[in-house]
Amino acid sequence: MQGVTTIFTGVDGGGTSEVKAFLDDVEARSFGTNVATYVGFGPVRRAVLENDARAPTGEELEHMQALVAKGMCEGALGLSTGLFYAPQSFSKTGEVTALAREAAKRGGIYDTHQRDEATYTIGIEKSVEEAITIGREAGLPVHFAHIKVLGVDVHGTSGAIIAQIEKARAQGQDVTADQYPWEASGTSLQASLLPGWAQDGGRVALLKRLDDPTTRDRIKAEMTENMRRRGGPHALLLTHPGHEWTAMRLDEIAARWEIDPLDAAIRIIRDGDRSGKLVSFNMAERDIAAFMRQPWVVTSSDGSEGHPRMYANFPQKYAKYVKAEHVIDLATFINSSTGRTADMFGLADRGHLKAGYKADVVVFDPDGYRPVATYVSPRELTVGVDALFVNGQQAIRDGKPTGRAAGRALRHTPPPGSCPA
């Protein structure tokens, strides 16, 4: 209901390595939007190395390269990584570069939730440089997924990150980014607080470490620092539905249970990673605005349950950053949500109102288009979209769904000769 016609899946290295099966399933079902996908580093690495914190052997690396090549030949946009998340975080730069080369050979891009958006491991500036290096050495465009500077240690450093990217672009490298217009990210307690080494071997190994007093104390010590980076327990709002702690902040949960916030976090993590879904208030408005003004940044939702960006991302950008705060103008909002995005990702016949292009068109009321979803009630539907057309079929009329689902699977076409006949 917010006016989206096309979605990209498999970001952050997620999704599937079975791209053909996924896109065939999209074609077989009735989807309201067009769907494109990446081949995900997560399932590729897990298929070969499971959840182990080690480098691949030469044979294992070749196996992973073959999986990426297969995904690209089946229509993936490129390789997506989430190097912040275990087990992808266990990889070294060279491993990722080797896989990115397989995407490059087939005309793909390198999309990354970079290794560090804060000061967790190598720091954000070195993390940005790593991504740029991967793109340069592999020979393909680099796209930073939901670019941000996350946490109190790096607030105000957006200018330095922008300068890094501008330098690479000035040297002829294709480097771009997308961004969601919210001051809170969406993640989980496990990803945001637990150290990477504690997740080596997967969930069973993690629970054993939490049961061992020695390793538990070490884990808690590192969790203390990670919580500080995130702004403390009050900055963490738990969102997964169906629990007594749903829509409560971590310090409030700890007070109710009469335990330390770290122990409350561990208790929730033990319940399962989905139970620990949260929004983390960790960004500064000046950094959000700085990234938003860049001509190489487009709008994204990083859509996930439990965060209002899933249902209200585009109206949030319009209502707050166009109408209320005048960070960008209307033309920039529209372009960064349509044509600029289509051009960036090579969707040659979409994103523009031109003869012969696919009719993916949204008509919204400039006075009434606004978000309704909130952090506490994230699934409320946007208002103000008068009409929506997907592939020429009307999906919304007079602000109401028509029931037509005209979305299609969008398959990237690799260059001739780069895939088996």
Per-residue model confidence (pLDDT) at position 45: 98
For residues 157-194, b (16+ Cβ closer than 10 Å) or e, as one string?
bbeebbebbeebeeeeeebbbbbbbbebbbbbbbbbbb
- The pLDDT tens digits of the residues spanning 205-229 come to 999 999 999 999 999 999 999 999 9
pLDDT, residue 274, reads 61
In this model, does residue 420 exceed pLDDT 70?
yes
Q: How confident is the model at residue 341 (pLDDT cuts 50, 70, 90)?
A: very high
Domains of the chain and any CATH numbers: 6-182+283-357 (3.20.20.140), 187-280 (no CATH)
Report pLDDT digits (tens) over 345-382.
999 999 999 999 999 999 999 999 999 999 999 999 99
- Other beta carbons within 10 angstroms of residue 10's beta carbon come to 27
Give the model's confidence band at 421: pLDDT under 50 very low, under 70 low, under 90 confident, else very high: confident
In this predicted structure, which of 232-246, 255-269, 403-417 has the lowest mean pLDDT?
A: 232-246
Mean pLDDT score across all residues of the chain:
96
Evaluate the omega torsion of the peptide bond into residue 87 and state whether it is cis, within 30 degrees of 0. yes
Distance CA(109)–CA(143), nearest Å, equals 7
Q: What is the pLDDT of residue 275?
A: 62
Phi, psi of 371 (to 5 degrees): -80, 150
pLDDT in tens, 134-192: 999 999 999 999 999 999 999 999 999 999 999 999 999 999 999 999 999 999 999 99
pLDDT in tens, 286-302: 999 999 999 999 999 98
What's the average model confidence in pLDDT over 69-90? 98
Average pLDDT of the segment spanning 191-201: 95
pLDDT band at 411 (very low <50, low <70, confident <90, very high): very high
Mean pLDDT within 264-280: 86
pLDDT above 80 (res 118): yes
pLDDT at 305: 80
Q: How far apart, in whole angstroms, are the C-alpha atoms of residue 78 and residue 20?
A: 14
pLDDT at 273: 60
